[in-house]
Amino acid sequence: MTLRFSKMHGLGNDFVMVDCRTQPFALDTAQIARLGDRHFGVGFDQLLTIEPARDSKCIFRYGIYNADGSPSGQCGNGVRCVAAWLHRAGALTAKTARLESPSGPVTVELLDAGRVRVDMGVPCFAPDKIPLRLAEADPYRLRIDASDIEFGAVSMGNPHAVIEVADVAAAPLKTHGAALSTNVHFPQGCNAGFAQIVDRAHLRLRVWERGAGATLACGSGACAAVAVLRRRGKLDAEVAVQLPGGTLDIHWDGADAPVWMSGPAEFVFEGEIQL
């Protein structure tokens, strides 16, 4: 079969976009993983499908698959790319629209200069909803690779562990991040973020994403880091989160308010591949 796709990225977090508005998505896990391979396929952190909405209040639905073929519940950089893709295709003409993600509806707002603002929903800290098999605490503690790790945990539609560090450049991303992302206490795995507080309005962050590994940016991870650290009283409502690929602007009023994320969405190329 021939698969047509668009390649996009949000701060280097890259995606293959597949138009499934008129025909169902037909790739299995192995085919997705092969397509995601950066040597034998196209290469991506996540594959995003654009589908008819099931929720009548949303204009379209998007599906999310990691580079290893596993499904995901949310992708902050990805939803901005979905909005930009729909706008370029002429399917999103209003400045504001409602999209259906695997974890529920999100609101997107088209800004100037190719930027998109997204309502990422209300953070969920309840362990059974993350899901996390530990009694509720902040911080949580686990033994990882012979080290005691303290972390906060939250769901932003997908599970996140947030570890506060003094220097993000020295964070053990490939060891502790990878091990925590597959730890048995997270039955669905998690995205492990290492966050350095620069000041109350500025974070540095690196994320090991479940099913994808280290990425240049993680939108839901930026939201999770702000939610965990602002809940501890360490951040203001407006925070610039600096990731290896660039900066996301995060706003959270706290408590039962949604987290808003703003950042760019960029096209790279259009292509097709034989599978």
Q: Is 81 a catalytic residue?
A: no
Q: Which of 20, 190, 218, 223 is catalytic?
A: 218
* Cβ atoms of residues 241 and 225 within 8 Å: yes
**What are phi and psi for residue 243, nearest 5 degrees?**
-115, 170
Q: Is 20 a catalytic residue?
A: no
Strand stretches in the chain, DSSP E: 2-10, 13-19, 46-52, 60-66, 96-101, 104-110, 115-119, 140-144, 147-155, 159-164, 191-199, 202-209, 213-215, 238-243, 246-252, 259-264, 266-274
Q: Distance (Å, rounded) from C-alpha 16 to C-alpha 265?
A: 13
Q: Distance (Å, rounded) from C-alpha 266 to C-alpha 7?
A: 9
Q: SS3 string of 11-65?
A: CCEEEEEEECCCCCCCCCHHHHHHHHCCCCCCCCCEEEEEEECCCCCCCEEEEEE
Q: Distance (Å, rounded) from C-alpha 141 to C-alpha 150?
A: 5
Place of tokens 């309840």: 126
Q: Which of 20, 58, 75, 81 is catalytic?
A: 75
Q: Enumerate the active-site residues.
A: 75, 218
